[in-house]
Homo-oligomer: A and B are copies of this chain.
Amino acid sequence: MPASSASVTPSLSDAAVRLIAEIDTALDAFVAGLDLPPKLKAAAQHAVLAGGKRMRPLLVLQSCDAVGGSMADAMPAAIAIELVHAFSLVHDDLPALDNDLVRRGKPTVHVAYGEAMAILAGDVLLSIAIESAAASPREPIAIVRELAHATTRMVDGQVLDTLGGFSECGSSDEAKLHRIHERKTGALIVASCRMGALAGGATAEQLAALDRWGHCMGLMFQIVDDILDETQSAEHVGKAVGKDRDAGKLTFPGVYGLEASRQKVRDLDRDAAEALRPFGERARHLNDVAHFLATRTR
């Protein structure tokens, strides 16, 4: 989060802000170094710059740190997860999907570069993401498997969210909501934690604990997003407000009510802290991120 927003939203720790600067530098260098036609590279750079908060790569680096790995171990995986996130935003913004014209105050990729280039730039962001994950110094194949599987689940969630397709199963709204977000948002967030853990040489117990923590974070992230969409002004959230509910999409406040959604965030915050207990002091940075995500509601 930029320092200027400190007065209205809780801020990340100094350590996290420094890591995000490192991520930005590494991402820029990675994309700038690609051998691609100039316009394709420009479109990819535009997409990566519009990605935003770098929460997912931050989770990769801090999960790696929590199990004793170095930043160099985790950076290729951190870059990879952010590129997948950027790819998903470029395609989701397309006219045939959400038809969004602006993201983080800038024209979306298809507005700036045309629809054909946006489709192809999204595609190349996914393939270079895999290339980056595959360049991880430790456990590259396990990291690639996590990333590819999370991407499959993310697209699955996007299909359910945008196009429906539940009619076959006759699920309740609660079941649908959880399935959509477990996949659309949750899959990449859980994968961030698992990829970081793998990159840092986690034991099976550490991997399981970070997986559990990641599930809490994914769900919390989405509930807080839905609460903000419902309650805050466009200026504070940085995007159009009430859009999801207006579009008839299932949201947590819509299904459970606002107060129960806030309680769910508090429960997840507690479960998350519990999952990190075995890491002791090493989990300090992850606890900071959890606290930041939980308090975004206020």
Contact = CB atoms under 8 A, between A and B. Distances in A.
Contacts of A248: none
Contacts of A120: 91, 97, 155, 158-159, 162-163
Interface stretch (A69-77, A144-152, A202-210, A235-243): A144-152
Number of copies: 2
Contacts of A19: none
A156 interface: yes
Interface stretch (A31-39, A213-221, A272-280): A31-39
Contact of A39 (B122, B124, B159): B159
Interface of A: 34-40, 87, 91, 94, 96-97, 114-117, 119-120, 122-124, 126-128, 130-131, 134, 140-141, 144-145, 147-149, 151-152, 155-156, 158-160, 162-163, 165-166, 168
B128 A134 contact: no
Contacts of A128: 148, 152
A16 to B, nearest CB: 29
A148 B123 contact: no
Interface of A is mostly: helix
Which of A91, A147, A159 has most B Cβ within 10 Å? A159
Contact of A116 (B144, B162, B168): B162
Contacts of A151: 123, 127, 130
8 contacts: A37-B156, A37-B166, A120-B163, A122-B123, A126-B127, A130-B130, A130-B147, A141-B141
Contacts of A162: 116, 120
The CB with the most chain B CB atoms within 10 A, among A34, A36, A160, is that of: A36
A161 B155 CA distance: 27
A189 to B, nearest CB: 17
B123 A155 contact: yes
Contacts of A123: 87, 91, 122-123, 126, 151, 155
A3 to B, nearest CB: 36
A135 B223 CA distance: 34
